[in-house]
Structure 1
Amino acid sequence: ILIFSRYHQRVLYIDIDIHHGDGVEEAFYTTDRVMTVSFHKYGEYFPGTGDLRDIGAGKGKYYAVNYPLRDGIDDESYEAIFKPVISKVMETFQPSAVVLQCGSDSLSGDRLGCFNLTIKGHAKCVEFVKSFNLPMLMLGGGGYTIRNVARCWTYETAVALDTEIPNELPYNDYFEYFGPDFKLHISPSNMTNQNTNEYLEKIKQRLFENLRMLPHAPGVQMQPIPEDAVQEDSGDEEEEDPEKRISGR
């Protein structure tokens, strides 16, 4: 985002990881040059931030957009909120570049997650953002059922490249990990979608009210961007069972 900001006046960051995009939001909380939009599980869930009322501060007021969600959201409900919110953001903020964080822990069956998205549903977000024909940087993110992370980002890379790939997985050194069906796509579970239409519509309208507070296509001057700060993590994590569901976080 910092590098994009050297060449683009307005950069949009979109986060579809199940966790709130707290770090990026905090980094740009007081600027109108970067808008952050996060769709995430909220309430008794790490990192505990991302309330609807967290909207930015100072020059960045209304440039932080948070859509708090409940357990079990499915493809249909997610698409019904993602498209209108992103359309309104594009119309109001008019970014010239987009960073899309494609965390796959929002998929059904994730060890840490509690959403019910399929890979096709997740990838519809990529397809929709791509349709605006802006420079777009796609990033990975969370994802703790590793075989589904690989499936998801393979498919979304294909979507970004307008390339069709078969549902049958090709044989490779890791083929056994994708059993028993050895398919690219996954099915949703039977978990209950706790996001009622009434709840989703209420949140969406509140976000639209906030976005109406913004000037259309804000005129901003190009400001010096601080040097990148990179921290290296030298700690080695212990290996653990990749199939065991993690709870209590």
Structure 2
Amino acid sequence: MSYRWLDEDSTISLDYKANQKTPFYEPIVNTFQDGGYNPNVSYHFNPDVSQYHYGVRHPMKPFRLMLTDHLVLAYKLYEKMDVYHSHRASREELLEFHSDDYIKFLESVTPDNVKKYSQYLKQFNIGDDCPVFEGMYDYSQIYAGASLDASRKLISGMSDIAINWSGGLHHAKKYEPSGFCYVNDIVLAILNMLTVHPRVLYIDIDLHHGDGVQEAFYLTDRVMTVSFHKYNGEFFPGTGNHDEVGLGKGKHFALNIPLQDGIDDESYIRLFKSVMEPVITNYKPTAIVQQCGADSLGYDRLGCFNLNIAAHGECVKFIKSFGLPMLVLGGGGYTPRNVSRLWCYETSIMTNVKLNSKLPETLPFRNFFQPDYSLHPNLGDRLDNKNSKRYLENLRNQLLEHLRFLRGAPSVAMNEIPPDIQNMSTDEEQAILDKLNKESEYDEYLESERQKMNDKDQARTNEQEE
């Protein structure tokens, strides 16, 4: 069947009424022979997260999340997913990874009282990258809560793939913020998943090294971290060379792929697939967390790669094809119109649909996407590719040699699976139990009343028969 709306070169111009009836996406029919996989997908969002502002000149723009949600809605992708309004992470949830004094600082400091905390600003790495802004703690709670909610859907089996584009803030450390990231929602979500999953694989395709996540799990074999990023020893955060492999029990369970400026679609995809297939085959994860930072796209405000949206999405599609429970998160990305395009496109990959490359006419803020109004602008011709074929082949061989040390999947003794996957407080649980008990008592009362009425009816029937 031919779908004319997928053909950008069509000479037929539809009128307004016809445009209103034109479908926004085409379902992709997967067959068993094609390795078809039709997962149950959940989408976790909180519209409040886009209302926060780091500062006028700061490159991080939470507004990009509103653009993403608008695109997802305009393409009607909500028809293919379970959509959840996420909760705000509690202080107790944040303390599962972060230190008490750091969380107390985040709770307390504001732009109005920042002078009062001047002695702590250096201690907690507050500066140009991580400024104090209005609602900073609330913002952190919102995006962390969405990642925790998404992880619980995976744990409970209610979702096969769970998406939170507001998450993926991979630089935050236990004691301090870093690289625009205040709370490390990825670490919190993985810790949650480890209560059920023996092995979790973390994959990072952000432009920057996922140092905060690597550091958190550097000493364990229960989480393997794999990061594709720019590295020259100076580019932020300055870590991520291929010789960072983990320590102690975690030795060989950190894998870093350092890349140079200008890598293109073909080179990136080939390297990604040739590394990730043996990683998954050897490590045998029971769940995957993928951070989909959009600053690895071409023409990103802080970026230096040449990736197009389809190539970035191909990496996510490849990991999806393994059919494992998957948490999909956002991350970096500093050209909002391209960030939202990418994450909408990758949402369509998760939900097995092919989107019309022309953005819907009903899209709010559509002018942000001019002049082409396309889901797939050309982003791949900005920089020369400094990653020679020889460099990439040598890097690939180093990485495959490194994987030989894994010697199969590490065994894990799962002594206890905590029953509280909803993370309710004792008072909340007791309130639910009390309600259920009252309902049960009321049901018993109604049943006894029905029995009394039946007994009376039976007595009258017996009298009539006599």
Q: Mark yes or no: TM-score above 0.5.
A: yes
CA distance in 2, matches of 1:167, 1:91: 35
Kindly indicate which of the two structures has a greater share of residues assigned to helix: 2
Equivalent in the alignment of 1:61: 251
Say whether the 8 Å CA contact 2:299–2:382 is kept in structure 1. Answer: no
Say whether the 8 Å CA contact 2:298–2:382 is kept in structure 1. Answer: no
Q: Which residue identity does 2:374 align to in structure 1?
A: K
1:137 to 2:335 alignment:
no
Q: CA deviation at 1:37?
A: 0.2
Q: CA deviation at 1:173?
A: 2.1
Equivalent in the alignment of 2:337: 147
Equivalent in the alignment of 1:203: 395
Q: Which of 404, 410, 414 matches 1:222?
A: 414
Equivalence map 1:36-185=2 (5 Å): 36-43=225-232, 44-171=234-361, 172-185=363-376
CA distance in 1, matches of 2:208, 2:415: 30
CA distance in 1, matches of 2:222, 2:265: 31
CA distance in 1, matches of 2:415, 2:336: 40
Q: Which of 207, 215, 224 matches 1:18?
A: 207
Q: Could you tell which deviates more after superposition, 203-212 or 151-160?
A: 203-212
Equivalent in the alignment of 1:7: 196
Structure 1: stretches of 5+ with no match in the other structure: 226-249
CA distance in 2, matches of 1:206, 1:224: 38
Equivalent in the alignment of 1:186: 377
Larger radius of gyration: 2
TM superposition score normalised by structure 1: 0.88
Say whether the 8 Å CA contact 2:264–2:306 is kept in structure 1. Answer: yes
Residue aligned with 1:158, SS: helix
Q: Which residue identity does 1:29 align to in structure 2?
A: Y
Q: CA deviation at 1:72?
A: 0.2
Residue aligned with 1:213, SS: helix
Equivalent in the alignment of 2:52: none
Q: Which residue identity does 1:134 align to in structure 2?
A: L
CA distance in 1, matches of 2:203, 2:264: 19
CA distance in 2, matches of 1:6, 1:111: 38
How many residue pairs get matched? Answer: 225
Equivalent in the alignment of 2:127: none
Q: Could you tell which deviates more after superposition, 18-27 or 206-215?
A: 206-215
1:126-171 alpha-carbon deviations (Å, 9 max, x no partner): 1100010000010000000000000000000000110111000013
Q: Which of 20, 31, 49 matches 2:220?
A: 31
Q: CA deviation at 1:218?
A: 1.3
1:162-194 alpha-carbon deviations (Å, 9 max, x no partner): 011100001322100000000001211242100
Q: CA deviation at 1:222?
A: 3.1
CA distance in 1, matches of 2:367, 2:242: 43
CA distance in 2, matches of 1:5, 1:190: 41
Residue aligned with 1:164, SS: strand
Q: Could you tell which deviates more after superposition, 89-98 or 215-224?
A: 215-224
- When the two chains are superposed, the root-mean-square deviation of aligned CA atoms in Å is 1.2
Q: CA deviation at 1:224?
A: 8.0
CA distance in 2, matches of 1:181, 1:68: 33
Q: Which residue identity does 1:21 align to in structure 2?
A: G
Residue aligned with 2:236, SS: coil
Q: Among the aligned pairs, what percent are the same residue?
A: 56
